[in-house]
Chains A and B, each alone.
Chain A
């Protein structure tokens, strides 16, 4: 066993002689460097899971407690817009994955194209989200001083939603809790949107660098790690879509 280890140490030091320019001084090989930063990214995503986990816990507890309010609240969401956004994000994940492939196979133009498409799709997602938010503002469904329970006390005052679900009116006690639903809705989608905005910012930066030829000369870690982040944000959305939009369709 020690012989093997000595041998691997030799191998590592001979790899050191090649010295790609992006290799940082404290790593022995480019492989070790890429491994380490990939692993770090996965751990970072784990912290993100725990971060969102707090919100999901709150959502699940309150949904259990105030089931009718959460169902009625959920019926206010526009499934068509939500589904469109889900498609937009899945598509953007595809273009991102293609971007990583382009970087790995050293296709500069392809990489710039894929990153730009991802960028545009990300913006499209935020655009659609803002249309949805606007609808909530117009109906006074944003928690706070202007919050109105009208749609839940008297569902027929909201003809579009009523036509689809035929909700029975909630008692005032229960209708109060719809505000909690919308708090969680805005918190969770808002936190997700914040991650999207950060991601789009980084994408912009990457597009500029990729046009100058970065990432397509063998050092693709940054693109790969960003890809992981982007897919993660996508997955969070898929959970949000299921928990906020779909789960109460037939309740």
Chain B
């Protein structure tokens, strides 16, 4: 750790955007659609993910509007079912799962480990096309009438009782699943085989460790949801009977298969976000992440434990008491590595030289909200309280705290943090700080009342509710409006900054990762020559020495 507590950010007045970079190397729409450059694919993903986020967000807006009043008056109850189902499907499979890995992970992993590209660049492009095919199919489903099973495709509802578009939605998720499998596979191979000389496992940035753990989950868990969707489709079309009690099948088997993916899937969603947080916290505290090894292994531990807790989604579905006991215990265990991360980030702040740029504000938002989300998860992992709280708004609030308060904050932190690297320009600092604060306030207004609603017993998935719940629902809807503004602002000023933002220079934050030691935006091949890693991760003394030498060169040349 540097003893110098005064942070000196580089003077950007002399910075220029380099003429040759990955954005200018080739032109034309085909150079984007047929690219195999991981950075361009990341941009394709960023654009499409943002698009789907706003569709899912619009649906969330409709849900909150409907819940403004106790009666179901804005839309028919059937429509409401479809709206919350499509909100879930789009947000989970087309936003949260690919959000950080497919955009930031794609862009940064090769750069962080000192490689020219991912190991399988064409497979990487294929994953984007699969993602788009799945996404467009989901939109098509929505246009022709939607689906109302909930994003969980619960049997026997999805196989026997509804006449909505289960098959096309299932196909959309199936296809998007392969996109996720290929992304994860690509990351694992890349991290194993493409590291630059000297980049040992324990010199990898924690962002890479987190993605490695998430990728393992993508590779191992996603095929299971693929086969369960195949089974749903066959059950629905030709009645194979595996989920049909009249033929001896068991709907509960579907739950097991589905949650065997979908529980690890929440770690697929959150782990990459945790990777972002590690980078941001270290950079803006100018300190090595406290307990690097512990944070690295906690990612792996979350991935491993994550595979053995799926049945906590099924406590009231008729699994045996012993199963409840075991899965409850295992669920508590996941809290340990999550807590290790939170504590270590907090210790990283201790005696650091902290500054409050936008990514750091989002990160603080993440730490607070994720902690609340995580702790309420412990309530839900305890079977006694779970039986009271499950299927109420408590659950809704819990996973929105983790996914929106946690993951989305992390995503925004990451986008702001690496925006100068991706585009070569800075985002406007003041307004983005405002956006971060607005998001935080809006988020708490929206989702905190839902914890109270849940404890009072308001069930989820209904278009109407008893009038005594109205005040808290009005709070929640009002908060959602603020939250909407908070999410719209970044889109506006980030697009603005593409043209008018200040030129960033190579390393505006004085961060230590290899990705910051090259020009921004980077060259198509990332580095002029293959980097050699001769220092530990987050070594700020090394960076300081490096900068001093550069200064010396400039003065002696001048």
Chain A residues with a Cβ under 8 A of chain B: 2, 5-6, 8-9, 12-13, 24-26, 28, 32, 35-37, 39-40, 43-44, 46-48, 50-55, 57-58, 61-62, 65-66, 69, 143-144, 176-177, 179-180, 183-184, 186-187
Contact = CB atoms under 8 A, between A and B. Distances in A.
A9 B532 CA distance: 8
Nearest to B215: A43
Contacts of A40: 119-120, 123, 185-186, 189
Contact of A5 (B121, B198, B234): B198
A179 B533 CA distance: 61
Nearest to A178: B248
A143 B220 contact: no
Nearest to B192: A39
A43 B189 contact: yes
Interface string B517-537: 000000001000010111000
Contact of B247 (A12, A48, A177): A177
B227 A183 contact: no
A51 B224 contact: yes
A54 B238 contact: no
B263 to A, nearest CB: 15
A43 B197 contact: no
A179 B247 contact: yes
A6 B197 contact: yes
Nearest to B257: A54
Contact of B534 (A5, A26, A58): A5
Given A28-B530, A55-B227, A46 B219 contact: yes
Contacts of B248: 62, 65-66, 69, 176-177, 179-180
B241 interface: yes
B525 A25 contact: yes
Interface string B123-157: 10000000000000000000000000000000000
Contacts of B226: 51
Contacts of B288: none
Given A62-B248, A176-B247, A39 B189 contact: yes
B242 A47 contact: no
Chain B interface helix/strand/loop/mixed: helix
A44 B190 CA distance: 14
Nearest to B228: A54
A60 to B, nearest CB: 11
10 pairs of A and B residues whose beta carbons are closest in the complex: A54-B227, A26-B117, A51-B223, A26-B116, A183-B240, A50-B223, A9-B197, A177-B248, A36-B193, A36-B119
Given A12-B197, A47-B185, A176-B248, A37 B120 contact: yes
Contacts of B231: 54, 58, 187
B485 interface: no
Contacts of A43: 185, 188-189, 219
B224 A54 contact: yes
Given A44-B185, A50-B220, A26 B121 contact: yes
A6, A51, A184: which has the most chain B beta carbons within 10 Å?
A51
B224 A50 contact: yes
Nearest to B181: A47
A220 B227 CA distance: 32
Given A6-B197, A180-B241, A46 B220 contact: yes
B234 A187 contact: yes
7 contacts: A6-B197, A37-B120, A51-B226, A177-B247, A180-B242, A180-B248, A180-B249
Contacts of A46: 219-220
B185 A144 contact: no
B506 interface: no
B112 interface: no
A185 to B, nearest CB: 11
Interface in B214-256: 219-224, 226-228, 231, 234, 238-242, 247-250, 253, 256
Contacts of A61: 250, 253
Given A12-B530, A176-B248, A48 B223 contact: yes
Interface in B242-295: 242, 247-250, 253, 256-257
B97 interface: no
A24 B118 CA distance: 12
B194 interface: yes
B389 interface: no
A183 B241 contact: yes
B193 A53 contact: no
Given A57-B257, A143-B241, A5 B532 contact: yes
B530 A36 contact: no
B192, B227, B239: which has the most chain A beta carbons within 10 Å?
B227
B397 interface: no
